[in-house]
Amino acid sequence: MKFLSEYRNPELVRQYLDQIHQTATRPWTIMEVCGGQTHSLVKNGMLDLLPDEVQMIHGPGCPVCVTPVSLIDKAVWLAESANVILCSFGDMLRVPGSRKSLLEAKAGGADVRILYSPLEAVQLARTHPDREVVFFAVGFETTAPANALSVVHARRQGLTNYSLLTSHVLVPPAMEAVIHDEATQINAFLAAGHVCTVMGTAEYAPLVERYQIPIVVTGFEPVDLLQGILMTLRQLEAGVARLENQYARVVRPEGNPEAQRVIREVFEIRDRAWRGIGTIPLSGYELRPEWTAFDANQKFSISVETAPESTECIAGEVLKGIKKPHQCPAFGKGCTPATPLGAPMVSSEGACAAYYHFAEAELA
């Protein structure tokens, strides 16, 4: 499998680990932003292979994890009280709301469906003209083009029974919020390669310049991550701060202009609430006014009171890199994939899920 198996090559892994050990001469803290990067680091045991001088901390790059309780409650309300066909990606179903999850709503008879693409939801709306279909549009910039295209296709087909419940969040504002948090001590970032595939790398340059902090865009395989860590360490040890692209086989500086065009056509940037973190200014996408007919928030009179987050869950501290999952008193006890207190335990990109499934030996 070209561009995959070679990035899992054990010999290359050993070579990069040797170079990392030779390069690091003092303590450095590096945040990998994306949950996919976290899962690869934990699953492949790389955290234990790095030198003591290199501390990896896990960032807010899990869109399911940062979707606030109120939006889960809205999705549950739509499924149960508005009698819609509520469609979602699979890892949203077990995320707890204030009362229940979408999976529990489905078990109670609500029409909740797992789909792999929002275009499948458009097809459902076309084949079920007597039902309202709502797609729970969750994600970073990576999934925004497909979600935007879904409403473009719905309009072209004359569908009036399709809408989005939007929970799109943006990576650079989250990174800046983490930098500003006094409890975090970050020397450099590994940026998410799949986001940059869409958006390019230019939007990270102002962060590098403003805060003099190295940012290296990486892929998700072991060699990708180790090469990215080495590139970051070389900058830190030399006392420089640059934006570099380890994932050049996939990421172009300009990203995907056509994907960016459809995002701009359908979405506008607004303030967004992040679960466990709070509101980050200009950190999310919402539908533009000209697309209001496809906005579930506008289409339905959603009756949901704002609910507080669980006081037992430290998801916010985990998402900001202040604490590791196993430092939570409820980890593996009151909070498990079967009984989650927060989204990071059930999301496929959640740091808590990564530690629960793959780090048993390290935590024993």
For the stretch 15-29, pLDDT in tens is 999 999 999 999 999
Averaged over 243-260, what is the pLDDT? 97
Kindly give, in sequence order, each residue whose CB lies less than 8 Å from that of residue 222, ignoring residues fewer than 6 positions away: 7, 8, 13, 40, 44, 46
- pLDDT of 277 higher than 60: yes
Share of the chain above pLDDT 70, in %: 98
The whole-number pLDDT of residue 182 equals 87
Task: Tell me the mean pLDDT in the region 283-305.
Answer: 93
Task: Please give the span between the terminal C-alpha atoms of the chain, in angstroms, as a whole number.
Answer: 35
5-64+172-234 sits in which CATH class?
Answer: alpha beta
Query: What does the pLDDT look like over 49-88, one tens digit per residue?
Result: 999 999 999 999 899 999 999 999 999 999 999 989 999 9
CA 237 – CA 20 distance, rounded (Å) = 11
Q: What is the 3-state composition of the chain as percent helix, strand, coil, each rounded to the nearest 5?
A: 45, 20, 35
Nearest to 349 by CA among 37, 32, 31, 138: 37
Same fold for the domain at 5-64+172-234 and the one at 69-170+255-298?
yes
Q: For all residues of the chain together, what is the average pLDDT?
A: 93
Sign of the four-CA dihedral 243, 244, 248, 250: negative
pLDDT of residue 362: 47
Fold of 69-170+255-298: Rossmann fold (3.40.50)
Q: For position 303, what pLDDT does the model report?
A: 79
Confidence of residue 364 (pLDDT cuts 50, 70, 90): very low
What angle do the packed helices 35-43 and 222-238 form, to 10 degrees? 100
Where are the domains positioned within the chain? 5-64+172-234, 69-170+255-298, 315-363
Q: SS3 for 76-126, per residue?
A: HHHHHHCCCEEEECHHHCCCCCCCCCHHHHHHCCCCEEECCCHHHHHHHHH
Average pLDDT on 337-345 reads: 91
CA 276, CA 8: separation in Å to the nearest integer?
34
Q: Helices (DSSP H) in the chain: which residue ranges?
A: 10-23, 35-43, 46-49, 69-81, 102-107, 118-127, 144-156, 171-180, 193-199, 205-211, 222-238, 257-266, 296-299, 315-319, 351-358, 360-363
Q: Tell how far CA 68 is from the center of its chain.
A: 13
Mean pLDDT of 225-240: 98
Residue 361 banded pLDDT, cuts 50, 70, 90 = very low
The band of 360, judged by pLDDT with boundaries at 50, 70 and 90, is low
Q: Is pLDDT above 90 for 1?
A: no
